[in-house]
Structure 1
Amino acid sequence: MIATVAVSQNADDPLAGLEVREKPKPDVPQGWSLVKVVTSSINMHDVWTLRGVGHPPELLPRILGCDAAGYDEDGNRVVVHGIIGDLDRGRGDETLDPKRSLLSEQHEGTFAEYVAVPARNLVPLPDGISFEDAACLPVAWGTAYRMLATQAKLRAGDTVLVQGSAGGVNSAAIKLAVAMGATVYATSRTDEKLALAESWGARGIADGARLPEQVDYVIDNVGEATWSHSVKSLRPGGAIVTCGATTGMNPSADLGRIFYQQKRVLGSTMCTLTELQQLVRVMENTGVRPLIDSTVSLENIRDGFETLLGGDVRGKIVVRVAEDD
């Protein structure tokens, strides 16, 4: 089968270690299932692997890719939950399992014609959701959904600030929060991206600008560059939910403001199988869909990586692995 493989790591030139090559069809352990992949999508996790961040070199070569939608062995449409974890170790939540891994870490990933995954990780995909949309769900949209629904416990009428508007997680957070009945503010450095957020029902706010009100929740995966603004924009008793720090992990904590105004900081990583199932139902019931920047073929996946590294991506870059039967 054809697959996209990380063969080496280079912090300065990550694509130097990216190859599209023939690989054997995966073995399927007992309790696992073989999925014929139709679509996947590119995540920064794939870039970190190529840069050598959080992925030991001794695990190379490794098929990249964390997201997948396609057909199970019985021909059913499915989307793949990408976390391999133990519910007991995670006390009922596989994202809290200290030994959890994401597809492409301890196991081969989804940038291939076939992927083997635990049978429990397959979520039925309704006919009304396309394979392209489904490929955006497990990492980016699943992360945003967990941040809003589980960590923030967002309710209709709540107010939310999303730091950033055009990335995969941020665009998902805006669209989902609006669909859940929240008042949403979204930041960006450009008028074009502010207009994009406003087209989804958010109110655009220039980076660092004062909001017309303090909000109940802030969704922040930017980190150092936005942290001070996030803390100041949060009402007393509110919560910042963070799933990353793309601009750095050493912000000024502003602990005085946090403890005196009883503000909270909640970490969040990926989503559980149950949350992915819930997300699929939300999409089916509301009609909300991902923002897709572009679609590339598996053979031309390097073009998608170059677009992502270029930094001007709106939503997700989908990888078309096979035609929909």
Structure 2
Amino acid sequence: MFAVYASAPSPEDPLATLTVGERPEPEVPDGFVAVSVRAASLNMHDLWTLRGVGIKAEQFPMTLGCDGAGVLADGTEVVLHSVIGDPAWSGDETLDPKRTLLTEKHQGTFADTVVVPARNVLPKPTSLTFAEAACMGTAWLTAYRMLFVKSGLRPGQTMLVQGASGGVSTALVELGRAAGMRVWVTGRTEEKRALAAELGAHQTFESGARLPERVDAVFETVGKATWQHSMRVLKPGGAIVVSGSTSGPDPSADLQRLFFLQLQVIGSTMGTREELGDLLRFCDLAGIRPRIGAELPMTDARAGFERMLAGDTAGKIVFTR
């Protein structure tokens, strides 16, 4: 079958082993289902897989793609949940120490067919296209959990999104606006700030800019480059919700500010199957649609990877079959 895969780990040059070609047809174990992929979105996790982060060398070649949408053998249209837990685990699967994501143990979605546990497919709302639904399982689910499960924000409060144009950031803007938050966003360029405003941000600012007032919560996916700013713009008792560190994982903790102002630093990873179901219903009911910055045929996957590696994103990059 056709697939986009990493043939081997390549820490220094992640695109060196990116391969577009043929892979064997997958077997379908008991309790699993085969999904004919219609669309799949690109995530930073795919670049980490190419670098060999979070995956052993003997697991290559590995088909890339953490999330997607497609069709079951009976014609049911589905969205994929990317977090695969241990069958013996009960409760929040993101806390399962044996959990994995697609492309860490199981082959991913950038292929004609992906095989996943039966519980990892959910019905696709008819209001979402396959390309839109393919954005939900990783970036949008991460944003949903950050905002509605972890932050403690209420409608009318002020949130700051650090970084304006990535998949999680654009999802936070749209979800926050739909939920009645006052949404502020920082961005490195005028173009990225304009995108955030178009998606519903009430105000946008240059990275590191002084804000008109302090905010109730900051949403962090950038890390080292924005951390000091995030700490300084919070109200006493406010929260930073962190789901990534694309600029580096070693920010200054600023512990005096942390304890004196009783700030909260909250980690957030992906989301549960139940939360994905809630997200899909919310998008359906509220008429929210993910911003797709580029939609490419899967055969042109390298162009999408090059755009992500260069930071040239304006929403999600989606591959279609």
| Alignment TM class, shorter chain as reference | over 0.9
User: Following superposition of structure 1 onto structure 2, how do residues 152-231 of structure 1 map, counting pairs within 5 Å?
Assistant: 152-202=151-201, 203-231=203-231
- Confirm whether residue 280 of structure 1 aligns to residue 280 of structure 2: yes
Which residue number corresponds to residue 312 of structure 2? 312
- Using the alignment, how far apart are the partners of 1:251 and 1:88 within structure 2? 37
Which residue number corresponds to residue 132 of structure 1? 131
CA 84–287 in structure 1, closer or farther in 2 if over 3 Å, else same? same
Aligned partner letter, 2:307: T
Please list the CA deviations of residues 42-78 of structure 1 after superposition, one character each: whole Å capped at 9, or x if unmatched.
1111111111222211110111111110111221111
CA 16–96 in structure 1, closer or farther in 2 if over 3 Å, else same? same
Give the CA RMSD over aligned residues. Answer: 1.2
Poorly superposed stretches of 4+, deviation over 3 Å: 86-89
Aligned partner letter, 1:207: S
- Using the alignment, how far apart are the partners of 1:153 and 1:78 within structure 2? 30
Aligned partner letter, 1:193: K
Report the secondary structure of 2:284's partner residue: helix
User: Following superposition of structure 1 onto structure 2, how do residues 205-284 of structure 1 map, counting pairs within 5 Å?
Assistant: 205-284=205-284
- Confirm whether residue 6 of structure 1 aligns to residue 22 of structure 2: no
TM-score by length of 1: 0.96
Displacement of 1:197: 1.2
CA contact (8 A) 1:40 1:110 kept: yes
Which residue number corresponds to residue 44 of structure 2? 44
Aligned partner letter, 1:125: K
Please list the CA deviations of residues 144-184 of structure 1 after superposition, one character each: whole Å capped at 9, or x if unmatched.
00000100133211210000110111111111111110001
Please list the CA deviations of residues 289-309 of structure 1 after superposition, one character each: whole Å capped at 9, or x if unmatched.
111111111212111111111
Displacement of 1:112: 0.7
CA contact (8 A) 2:42 2:65 kept: yes
- Using the alignment, how far apart are the partners of 1:131 and 1:299 within structure 2? 17
CA contact (8 A) 2:170 2:199 kept: no
Q: How many residues align?
A: 320
- Using the alignment, how far apart are the partners of 2:58 and 2:86 within structure 1? 24
Structure 2 unaligned residues grouped into runs of 5+: none
- Using the alignment, how far apart are the partners of 1:27 and 1:144 within structure 2? 33
- Confirm whether residue 78 of structure 1 aligns to residue 78 of structure 2: yes
CA contact (8 A) 2:195 2:314 kept: no
Report the secondary structure of 1:228's partner residue: helix
CA contact (8 A) 1:87 1:93 kept: no
TM-score by length of 2: 0.97
Which residue number corresponds to residue 113 of structure 1? 112
Report the secondary structure of 2:40's partner residue: strand
